[in-house]
Structure 1
Amino acid sequence: MNKIWQKGKSGTALKIIDDYCFNQDAQLDNSLVKYDVYGSISHAFALNKLNIITEDELLQLKKALKEILELEKQGKFTIEAGDEDIHSKVESYLITKLGSLGKKIHTARSRNDQVLVDLRLYSKDRLLNVVQTVIGLAETFQTYAKKYEFIPMPGYTHMQKAMPSSVGLWLGSFSESLLDDLPAIKTAYDLNDQSPLGSGAAYGLSLSVDRQLTADMLGFQKVQNNSLYCQASRPKIILCIIQSLVQVMLTLSRFAEDMLLFTTNEFNFFTVGTELCTGSSIMPQKKNLDIMEHLRAKTQVVINYQQLVVSLSAGLPSGYNSDFIETKGPLMNTFLRVNQSLEIVQLTVKSIQPNIEILKKAMTPELYATHAAYELVKKDMAFREAYIKIGNALDKIPAYDQVEVLKQSNHLGGTGNLGVELITKQLINYKEWWEKQVELFKKAVNLLIK
């Protein structure tokens, strides 16, 4: 296929140049097909407003672009080696279908702002999807925290037994951690929710294109103002998105490490379904929770995607740079790994079965040392004196009622008061806000392609 930048027979790049610069990235562009179509439809309306295309031509372009959407759904519109990118593929289709009219679609547009709008729409769609999964997982953690609220479990500091805890407190900690990850995602979402379309190659256009029109049609919160900064913001916003999702992965990796530890034969606090485990090719007895090891590793991979984008964007000059292309893979692969990880953890949480008798047996006397000191404090002994007295008589700590001790820690966030209703209310508020964003985006897209 001829390149859209070719000017006749001259200027054809060697195949090795295509392979090196474009073909690997072109495969990623298969994830951008519908977003490129959305951007192109809105751009056609802007061209119509400039009287560059007529009403009839607008309808022809829109019809042809909607055909691409249908072909893509059927797996019949894909980016192949030699296509260079999604933008060239779409324009080539329009030219083949509509002749000279198809050649008008790139008026007042550069591939630089075209890829930006594609990535913004792609990221918006993916963020809306992932955040609903995050909220769903947080709700699951809350459900099981309530279910296992008063099942005792040793609490650890420095990897040593410390104080009485509960399965409910442990599970609830992950729900609240995910809750704290949501504002980071929202910050990334808001930064991404700006339309760069109409900024051109980086320096604006000599045609007065209505950027607000296209922004509104595509469902963006606002127009990204400075045409030069539109390009400079590409790695910045991608980095912000990945960083927000790193926070989610860090939450999940802590869960993974805990699960790997607490399901060992030595601990055996929990059992998970055999359908979530793998085996060994040589050791018949093995039942491996491989998914949690993969989750640990995928967290490191996503962290490295973050560092890769930092490295790629550091020290670049103003304007468009082809270095930006290398940030597309880290972005898309981050979404892939995060979504997979969230699904795996959802399955795992629902599969957890606490081994209650083993957990109770693990509640050894030293776990109650601080509680014993507080009992003396209640009898008017100074805490430091109580601390020393109990510390010198650890072998004399009485046998306490395990559940009763959990219930006595009834301050907000303690084992006797997990604050489930409080966290649930916050999750509902977030859920309502994000559902509204999903609705607004769907409405914009449906109006665009109707």
Structure 2
Amino acid sequence: MVSKLWQKKSSQKLNQAIETFEVGEDYLLDANLVEYDIYGSLAHGRMLTTIGLLTLDEFDKIKLELKIILSDHKKGQFKITIHDEDVHTKIEMRLTEKLGEIGKKIHTARSRNDQVLVDTRLFSKVELLDLIGLTLDLTGKVLDFARRYEWIPIPGYTHMQLGMPSSLGMWGGAFVESLIDDIYFLKHVYDLNDQCPLGSGAGYGVSLPIDRELTRQSLGFKRLQLNSLYCGNSRGKIEANIISAIVSLGMALNKMASDLLLFTTKEFDFFEVADEITTGSSIMPQKKNLDVFELIRAKTATLLGLEISIKTLIAGLPSGYNRDFQDTKKFLMTAFETISPILPLMGLAIEKLKPKTDRLISAHKKEIYATDAAYRLVEGGMPFRDAYRHVGSHLDELDSFDPYEVIKSRDSMGSTGNLQLDHYNPLISKETTWVQDERERMEEHFEKLWD
């Protein structure tokens, strides 16, 4: 019996070194796709019954065996080996082993090309919903921080130098808004990914009367990816867009971590840090290190590398399937594995920071109020440029200001005195409800596949 889907006869053998190189880590990565390959097979099998290529009795037997495979997988008893090559081969061979001729029918009007596309799209839908949920959780915690310390002044910096008085409410609120933007970006790529490629075959359609709309509906995709060639060509492109959204989120976490690392140095000393989120040094007894922020910051480099790698890989490929696409799977899965753990860690760390108010106030040196002094002159009728030059040439004569009064006096929308932090609550609630609804809708579709 042949052991590869592409083998024409049992005597056809692939050099072992070539096989090891070509399969690579694919068989290991495909453990993440078993459930989704089963769902794709259920939808495809149901469609084959409607066009007379499977009987209902045959489909019932396939469903029963697929249910056993899923159960074995969840118990860790369904192992894909390097000789299986991938999840698609493993499942088809299992069906053939258990059901004989019936098992051989499941691949009718289907290619491993559109199988892996479907599996990856379903995997990405689930992972993106989880990621958006984690981002919403972090956004809520940062918003809580901004509210709790809304009126505590902190120096604002430009060019790494003292600029103008700011507030912890403004600092936290800035990251709330940044994270909400990233949620919108993740939702955009979720929508881009939410199109069904099943039935596109190897990229040029099939000559059987398949019903692609039925499989789309069965799997719960929002729309059909119509052009069969583009289904294949979009492999790597959609994954690259997902990774770009993840990179954007990673960059926000990077900036937050960089700020907090700076603000917790002895030179700044703006926050009291709980011991439970710090480590020490093996040689310097005084050290209290926030390694967690350094490593969160470092993960951005990993994510950027993945984005560059996948875009470089697909650049210049001709239309149609190319084996290069195989490596896009690892880039995508690694991106999710990299970003997901650091979101709750950032939330935990934010909750363990306590501002040192006296230190924050004393960091407001006299020159930080220069712009406010210029505005006072403007309010007295002096043109701004004259006021700017006057204050700039008389910095040693600056009056004293109260930082609390300064941040409260800035009442234009989005300024320290008018942050409108309550504006973000309904946005967070709306997106949280969307994630819950989308999860329920997806689970309903998966459950109905067994009917």
TM-score using structure 2 length: 0.97
Query: 2:168: which partner in 1?
Result: 167
**Cα shift readout 1:309-336 (whole Å, capped 9, x = no counterpart):** 1111011111111000011111000011
Q: Which residue of 1 aligns with 2:85?
A: 84
Tell me the CA shift for residue 254 of structure 1: 0.4
Describe how 1:46-445 pairs up with structure 2 within 5 A: 46-445=47-446
Structure 2 residue 42 is matched with structure 1 residue 41: yes
Q: Which one-letter code corresponds to 2:356 in the other structure?
A: N
The one-letter amino acid of 1:397's match is L
Amino acid at match of 1:185: L
CA contact (8 A) 1:23 1:82 kept: no
Q: 1:23 to 1:309 in 2, by over 3 A?
A: closer
Which residue in the other structure is 2:16 paired with? 15
The answer as to whether partners of 1:151 and 1:168 remain within 8 angstroms in 2 is: yes
Which amino acid is the alignment partner of residue 363 of structure 1?
H
Which stretch shows the higher mean deviation, 237-246 or 70-79?
A: 70-79
Secondary structure of the corresponding residue to residue 163 of structure 1: strand
Percent identity between the two aligned chains: 46
Q: Deviations over 1:359-401 (max 9, x none)?
A: 1111111111111111122222222222222222222222222
Task: Give the C-alpha shift of residue 428 in structure 1.
Answer: 2.6
Tell me, what secondary structure is at the counterpart of 1:268? coil
Query: Residue 66 of structure 1: CA displacement?
Result: 1.3
Deviation at 1:260, TM superposition (A): 1.1
Shift of 1:11: 2.0
Cα-to-partner distance string for 1:117-169 (whole Å, 9 max, x where unaligned): 00000011101110111122112111110110011100000000000011111
CA distance in 1, matches of 2:6, 2:418: 66
Distance in 2, Cα, partners of 1:362 & 1:435? 44
Distance 1:96 1:41 in 2: 18
1:130 alignment partner AA: L
Matches of 1:322 and 1:188, distance apart in 2? 24
The change in CA–CA distance for 1:40 and 1:428 in structure 2 (over 3 A counts) is same
Alpha-carbon deviations, 1:183-226, whole Å to 9, x = none? 22122111110111011011111111111111111110011101
SS in 2 for 1:411: coil
Structure 1 residues not aligned, in runs of 5+: none
Deviation at 1:285, TM superposition (A): 2.2
One-letter amino acid of the counterpart of residue 134, structure 1: T
Amino acid in the other structure paired with 1:304: G
TM-score scaled to structure 1, two decimals?
0.97
Deviations 1:71-119 (A, max 9, x none): 1111111322222001011111112222221111111110000000000
Q: Note the C-alpha offset of 1:61.
A: 0.7
SS at match of 2:308: helix
SS in structure 1 of the partner of residue 150 of structure 2: coil
For 1:157, give the aligned amino acid.
Answer: T
Distance 1:428 1:385 in 2: 48
Other structure's SS at 2:162 match: strand
Q: Secondary structure at the match of 2:157?
A: strand
Q: Which shifted more, 175-184 or 188-197?
A: 175-184
Deviations 1:213-261 (A, max 9, x none): 1111111001110111100001110111111111101111000111111
Q: Distance in 2 between matches of 1:401 and 1:88?
A: 71
Amino acid at match of 2:394: A
Once residues 447 and 17 of structure 1 are traced to their aligned partners in structure 2, the CA distance between those partners, rounded to angstroms, is: 41
Q: Residue type of the partner of 2:384?
A: F
Structure 2 counterpart of 1:162, one-letter code? G
Residue 406 of structure 1: CA displacement? 0.9
Q: 3-state SS of the aligned residue for 2:449? A: helix
State the AA in 1 paired with 2:421.
V
Q: Secondary structure at the match of 1:234?
A: coil
Q: Which of 18-27 and 122-131 deviates more?
A: 18-27
Structure 2 counterpart SS, 1:162: strand
Q: Aligned partners of 1:375 and 1:297: how far apart in 2?
A: 44
